[in-house]
Amino acid sequence: MNKVIITVFLALILIIAFFGVYSYNDHPKDTVRIGYLANDQHSSALTIANVKGMFEEAGINVELQQFNVGSNIVIAMAAGQIDIGYVGTAPATMAIDKGMPLKIVAAVNEEGSGIVIAQNSTIKNITDFENHIVCIPSKGSIQDILLNYLLQENNISPKDIDIREMQLSLMPEALQSGRIDGYVIWEPYVTRASSGGYGKTFMYSDEIWKNHPCCVIIASDNFRQNNPDKLKKILKIHKNATDYIYSNRDDAASILSKQFNIDINTEKEILKHIKFLAIPDEDFIVNDLKIVNIQRQLGYVDHKTLNTSDIFDLSFLPPETMV
C-alpha cells in the first residue's frame, strides 16, 4: 500500500488511541461540530445554509471547523473533534475500510473537478502527459482516483507519468514557472486558472467520468446513535440548501462569490461544472462502489467485501426523498 496512505491512517489510529473512546460530555451537547473544506465543490450547500440562517431557524447550534484536505476531516472525526463532515467520498471510504466509526449519510455533489495545464502548454491529448509531471492534492483523493481512472481508460500506465502530491496553494506558481506540467484539482481552482490567466482547462471531470461521485456528508457513529433527530434536521437543511442553489441561482452565486472571494462571473461559470445533490440515487451508490474497486486496485483499501451497507447509512434522509 502507498506509504502516504499508511502514514495517514496510522496517524488516525494513534489519535484514536490517544484520545480514547469519544464522549459527548467533552463539548456542549447543544452544539454540532461540522468539518468542511472552504470551496464551491465541498461546501456550497453548507455555506448557503449558514448564511441564510437555516440552522438557527431549525434551532440547531453549529460550530464550523475548516480543514485543508479531506483526510484531516476523517482523522478529526475519528478523534472525536467533529460530529459531521463535508468531505470527498474517497477519503470517506478509505476511512471506513480501516474500521473508522463513521458512515456516509448524504450526497453533496457529482463532478466538479478538472485537469489544468499551462496557458502555453503543447499538451493536446492524454498521451502527451507521458514523461510529464502532473500533481494531485493528495494520494487517495478523488482527483487521484480520477487521474488513475483516466489513465486506465486510455491504456496508459501510471508509471509513465510523474504523479506528485502538492499543496493546492503551490500549484499555480509551479505551473506558471514550468516546474510542473499540469494538476488535477477541484472547483473553483479549475475555472480560476483560466480567469486568472495562469492556466487553462485541459479536461473537466465530466469528460473523464460523467456523473462521478465527489463529495458526501459523513457522520460519526456516536453522533448517529446519540443524536438521530438532530442529524435528520441537519440533512433536511442540507437538502433545502442544495435545492436553493438551483432555485435561486443568481442569489446563490452572489453569496458564494462573496464567501469564497471570487468574481461573480467566474462564480457563475464555476457552478456550471458542479452537479449538486443531497440524496444519493442508485447511480451515485453504484459509482461509489466503483470508486472503491479502483481504490482496491491502487492498494488504498484492503477489505474484499466492502458493500453498500458498510459505507452508507441513508436512514436519516428526509422520508419523502429516501432511495
Looking at the structure, tell me whether residues 316 and 194 fall in a common domain: no
What was the pLDDT predicted at 21? 41
Distance between CA atoms of residues 64 and 46, nearest Å: 9
Looking at the structure, tell me whether residues 80 and 97 fall in a common domain: yes
- Is the pLDDT at 190 greater than 80? The verdict is yes
Domain count, the chain: 2
Give percent of the chain above pLDDT 90.
82
| Type of residue at 123 | I
- Is the pLDDT at 13 greater than 60? The verdict is no
What was the pLDDT predicted at 197? 87
Interval 259-303: pLDDT, tens: 999 999 999 999 999 999 999 999 999 999 999 999 999 999 987
DSSP result, 283-304: HHHHHHHHHHHHHHHHTS---T
CATH code: domain of residue 200: 3.40.190.10
Looking at the structure, tell me whether residues 126 and 256 fall in a common domain: no
Looking at the structure, tell me whether residues 230 and 134 fall in a common domain: no
Looking at the structure, tell me whether residues 131 and 70 fall in a common domain: no
Interval 76-128: pLDDT, tens: 999 999 999 999 999 999 999 999 999 999 999 999 999 999 999 999 999 99
Q: What is the pTM of this model?
A: 0.90
Interval 220-266: pLDDT, tens: 999 999 999 999 999 999 999 999 999 999 999 999 999 999 999 99
99 φψ region: left (φ > 0), alpha (ψ -120 to 50), beta (else): left
Query: Following CA atoms 178, 114, 66, 252 in sequence, which dihedral angle do they give, to the nearest 10 degrees?
Result: 130
Q: How far apart are the first and last CA of the chain?
A: 34
Separation of CA 42 from chain center: 5
Distance between CA atoms of residues 322 and 282, nearest Å: 11
Cβ-based neighbour number of residue 257 at 10 Å: 20
Single residue among 208, 241, 268 that ends a domain in this structure: 208
Give percent of the chain above pLDDT 70.
90
Looking at the structure, tell me whether residues 32 and 118 fall in a common domain: no
Q: Write out the H or E segment, with its range, that includes residue 164.
A: strand 162-165
Query: Following CA atoms 257, 263, 266, 267 in sequence, which dihedral angle do they give, to the nearest 10 degrees?
Result: 10
247 φψ region: left (φ > 0), alpha (ψ -120 to 50), beta (else): alpha
- Is the pLDDT at 323 greater than 60? The verdict is no
Single residue among 187, 208, 229 that ends a domain in this structure: 208
Looking at the structure, tell me whether residues 219 and 96 fall in a common domain: yes
Looking at the structure, tell me whether residues 219 and 177 fall in a common domain: no
What was the pLDDT predicted at 201? 96
For residue 192, what are the contacts with CB-CB under 8 A and spacing of at least 6? 262, 266, 270
What was the pLDDT predicted at 30? 85
Helices (H), the chain: 3-19, 40-51, 54-57, 70-78, 89-97, 142-153, 171-176, 189-195, 205-208, 221-226, 228-247, 249-259, 264-271, 282-298, 308-311
Length of the chain (residues): 323
Of the listed ranges 39-43, 58-62, 203-207, 221-225, the one predicted with least confidence: 39-43
Contact 273, 190 (CB under 8 A): yes
Looking at the structure, tell me whether residues 103 and 86 fall in a common domain: yes
Domain ranges, residue 19: 3-111+212-321
Contact 203, 90 (CB under 8 A): no
Single residue among 188, 208, 228 that ends a domain in this structure: 208
Contact 92, 216 (CB under 8 A): yes
Looking at the structure, tell me whether residues 8 and 85 fall in a common domain: yes
Looking at the structure, tell me whether residues 102 and 177 fall in a common domain: no
